[in-house]
Structure 1
């Protein structure tokens, strides 16, 4: 009688464990994409090849994996790709970033915003305004300069030159040799640390901190920025905000399927 009672629970546990192993193999196929051999896959997941092969057979039968008949290598199947596409459709950067920026605004009580790359350059698409006597207004739809704003400099650091070249040429013509040298210094710092602090660059009396947000494939999806009055948002306060903003950008990137792979991080 006892065995009869315990068997159903044991069977359910085995199914759960089997599902976990199957998901692990699917994740490994994604990490080793576009295709990999059975031996490399087994090594990657730390399991015997014979066991991995049994799971692969089930995944192939269900359409979640497929095998190349020429190379015998395995890759993700059509069903796995459909699931991935459905997930990607939900990873809208504004939708993903909004709750994170709201929490950051509440924490810092400084204005936080998200900008994406538009046809005219860095464009503000979402704003969480600070709560207090002094509010620095950043309008949704505002287009920020590429070379003379914290947000723009982050875009210039991680976007391809084919996207930024025209705007960079236009703005460079209005800058002095010293200013252009400063721009290069800024870009190097941003690419190294993933976060950048500016003191009154775009507007006197206004300091800013910006950080990139990456999507799947480490594609730049946007830039998040915190701005505040130079009378309060400076020194240790700005340094602390920079650390929290970087963590926020990393969290958003992780949710978007991206990651920080910077030269100095």
Structure 2
């Protein structure tokens, strides 16, 4: 990893929940020594990517990040075109809906819409989604570039008792997703949350991200699962279309088989 990459990677540790970070804390989070981290912070500060709060002396994202974000959205529009499909998805499922995008080997949060029906609901408060533990990340492993698996296997952090923490369990989970067309994370990142996702494609025809629904586990029933999957398909088609892409026929086939199989299982139970 180059010095530039290491410096820019520090930006990923900032989030809405952790808007300001001190030098010592950042060293612990990034698992780097103080001298190197300080040198990288100085370089980022000179470039405007971060700034130091004069009151707290902690670091926060700088104006250059905002400028780049605005330029990105203006030239490669993504967020605005997800708003209506996400609102429809949240309203029809009653759960929190969100969209992630794949950039390089990382999955970033793009937009979210909270459940309009329930006071107790999933809260999307992370900016980078673990590949091995979230529905969005697992969806990327199943339908994104093959080299993502190597990245995921390099960091199998345990979040809950059901998190995939071995190569075999992770590969089994990904293979199951490839058979249904839906990413699935059953209490693997948070013990009280179950998630489902569907892949998104852009004008390149390649995997671009995922649209997901995060449900409070105590509300997650077979009926709700079916409803979520049906509306995830609609949202995935709409957002992919807005991004200039289409859903590959093989994934449409997986969805159809998955919904039919679930319906047949419910009818005989």
> What's the TM-score, normalizing by structure 2?
0.57
Preserved contact between residue 132 and residue 152 of structure 2 (Cα < 8 Å): yes
Residue in 2 that maps onto 1:181? 168
Q: Does 1:127 align with 2:112?
A: yes
* Number of corresponding residues: 176
Residue in 1 that maps onto 2:91? 106
Alignment CA distance shift 1:100-1:90 (3 Å): farther
Alignment CA distance shift 1:177-1:255 (3 Å): closer
Q: Which whole-Å CA distance do the structure 2 matches of 1:136 and 1:178 have between them?
A: 23
Offset, 1:120: 6.8
Per the alignment, in what secondary structure is the counterpart of residue 245 of structure 1?
Answer: helix
Q: 1:170 aligns with which of 118, 139, 154?
A: 154
Preserved contact between residue 177 and residue 184 of structure 2 (Cα < 8 Å): no
Q: Which whole-Å CA distance do the structure 2 matches of 1:180 and 1:171 have between them?
A: 11
Structure 1 stretch displaced more, 185-194 or 109-118:
185-194
Higher-Rg structure is 1
Provide, for residues 165-213 of structure 1, a one-character-per-residue CA deviation record: whole Å limited to 9, x for no partner: 5522322487999843332233223333321333211111211111111
> What's the TM-score, normalizing by structure 1?
0.58
Q: Which whole-Å CA distance do the structure 1 matches of 2:121 and 2:215 have between them?
A: 8
Offset, 1:119: 6.0
Q: Which whole-Å CA distance do the structure 2 matches of 1:177 and 1:123 have between them?
A: 20
Q: Which whole-Å CA distance do the structure 1 matches of 2:173 and 2:197 have between them?
A: 12
Q: Does 1:237 align with 2:237?
A: no
Unmatched 5+ residue regions in structure 1? 1-88
Unmatched 5+ residue regions in structure 2? 1-73, 255-269
Q: 2:195 aligns with which of 185, 194, 208?
A: 208
* Two-structure CA RMSD over aligned residues (Å): 2.9
